Structure 1
């Protein structure tokens, strides 16, 4: 490999080198970004000719016209994900002493327009959902309650086995997640059961007593059975999302995405004064408290009203 090596050769060499050191889902994501975005733009460029200015121009292009369906630009988050793969590949070439190190501090990104609003169920909508689940209680609907009262992600819920549930300690141990991973090069997909999203996503979550009583109804002694299926094979997130969507529609409930059940748990927790943000962050499996505050800190207007009304005592 030299400075005259084409970018597509570099990125494929880097991917092959990186494969053993990252999770299958991360590898699949890197390949998808490479094939969909980087190779079409930089593929035939000699890596020694790629400059900070080229990267900056590429970001502008992605922001204005980066969508694959040709309907506009990508979000800033997606642009950052794409440029991260570009940067890692180029830094690999630098470490191999092929090209000079680019100054990535010079790279700028478009400004986000406003804060992304957290979508969650209102208290009334949440109560309607809970009552409907009680009237139609089975292990699949009980899974909705588990997420609603613990905030676990859908992949973590699909990966929950009997051996991860302690009825005596009243806890669940989150130690894996179920994902369907798409192999861009082969054009196929497969189910992968692996570690949770991040190191902090591996966690033990205490359960409310009433939730334990519901889990007991569907618990069995086979440690390898998955909770949602009662069998040794899990359901995959895509299938469970479809079940959840049909359940909401069948019972005329608020139409939300399953991940918004996790948001609902977090928003309800923030509304409880005694529920400290450190505990919430660890239960959600966030990397730090500041991340939790950034996502949910502005989600609760009613809590702000309560706080501001405390100033009435000064008047």
Structure 2
């Protein structure tokens, strides 16, 4: 049953269906939009709103005729390449080539639906990828589809309002004080400057340590300037090898100044006098890339008889020691180069358990006691 002239129909399942013309594609075919509801009055109201919205000729609409794969490559190379770092560009390309294009690439861009994206997300989870990895892949697709919608290449964004699983909570594994001391004793015996000592007493990332030059260490002002990072990027073409790139730090906040205290300053001054390289951590009189630093770190762990951990755990250890010493979270966030205090809080919430417990004990001590009266 339909209402005359209104394009509203009663379906067999009892719901009302309203149909309106959204646009015409490049071949002149009408593209319809649909509205559903349990009540006729609700569908009629919403249908009127959409009919007004799409009543004018769609002069700005120029539907994209290519596949999703073609659009993704166009979006990345035309819209994004000049705006993002080389490492970011290559990571986007890798996510597209490895996951998005094999699953969705052959589909026409204008026919990509929300259900297609939902099936794609389900497929990613069946690969047992972490929630953060799935999110990073989805964000590439979402960015491309959002741009297609804003350019009027598609009539609706299939990624809009999709909810992903919450990210897996990262387990922060910091060294105990005893194991930290073991590593320090081995590291202090090294001939050159130790990346372990730098990480434990500055909280710098491995790539930042690799890129650190002696000119970035100001012994007069007692500061370290974190200006660059060294990272390995995937090949741009098949058959090529990965390559090393000196680039800007991870975020704007990562480009920071770290104070140097007395003991670390004395250690660095001694190592600088002995060094023949421009780099604080050197290998064959040049920089030591992250792989070299990680290899050396494994040897230190073995000598110290400490269980295997990633080099990044030293950064977590630095942050944990700071929390234990009562350093406020805003200061710690700046030292670590985090983009927000929230990130620091989310990352080190478990490390701050003792501080929260001590705060409760202090407040608990006031229970039943009369207030102090100043004279």
The 5-angstrom pairing of residues 227-246 of structure 1 reads: 227-229=280-282, 233-246=286-299
Q: What secondary structure is seen at the aligned counterpart in 2 of 1:314?
A: coil
Moved more, 11-20 or 180-189: 180-189
1:28-47, Cα deviation, whole Å (9 max, x unpaired): 10011011000100110000
- TM-score normalised to structure 2 length: 0.76
Distance 1:88 1:301, change over 3 A: closer
Within the candidate set 93, 96, 108, 2:148 is matched to 93
The offset of 1:140, in angstroms, is 4.2
Query: Which has more helix, going by share of residues?
Result: 1
Q: Which runs of 5+ in 2 are unaligned?
A: 1-61, 368-375
Alignment RMSD: 2.2
CA contact (8 A) 2:226 2:257 kept: yes
Q: What secondary structure is seen at the aligned counterpart in 1 of 2:233?
A: strand
- Distance in 2 (CA, whole Å) between partners of 1:260 and 1:51 is 42
Q: Which runs of 5+ in 1 are unaligned?
A: 67-72
The residue number in structure 2 matching 1:13 is 74
The residue number in structure 2 matching 1:37 is 99
The residue number in structure 2 matching 1:179 is 231
Higher RCO (C-alpha under 8 Å, 6+ residues apart): 1
- TM-score normalised to structure 1 length: 0.89
- Distance in 1 (CA, whole Å) between partners of 2:104 and 2:132 is 20
| Matching of residue 253 in structure 1 with residue 314 in structure 2 | no
The 5-angstrom pairing of residues 1-315 of structure 1 reads: 2-17=63-78, 18-63=80-125, 65-66=126-127, 73-102=128-157, 104-112=159-167, 115-134=169-188, 136-141=189-194, 143-186=195-238, 187-219=240-272, 225-229=278-282, 233-273=286-326, 275-315=327-367
Moved more, 83-92 or 194-203: 83-92
Count of residues paired in the alignment: 304
CA contact (8 A) 1:94 1:101 kept: yes
Distance 1:48 1:27, change over 3 A: same
CA contact (8 A) 1:125 1:254 kept: no
Moved more, 218-227 or 51-60: 218-227
Query: Which has more strand, going by share of residues?
Result: 2
Please tell me whether Structure 1 or Structure 2 has the larger radius of gyration of its CA atoms. Answer: 2
1:26-71, Cα deviation, whole Å (9 max, x unpaired): 01100110110001001100000111222122112211x23xxxxx
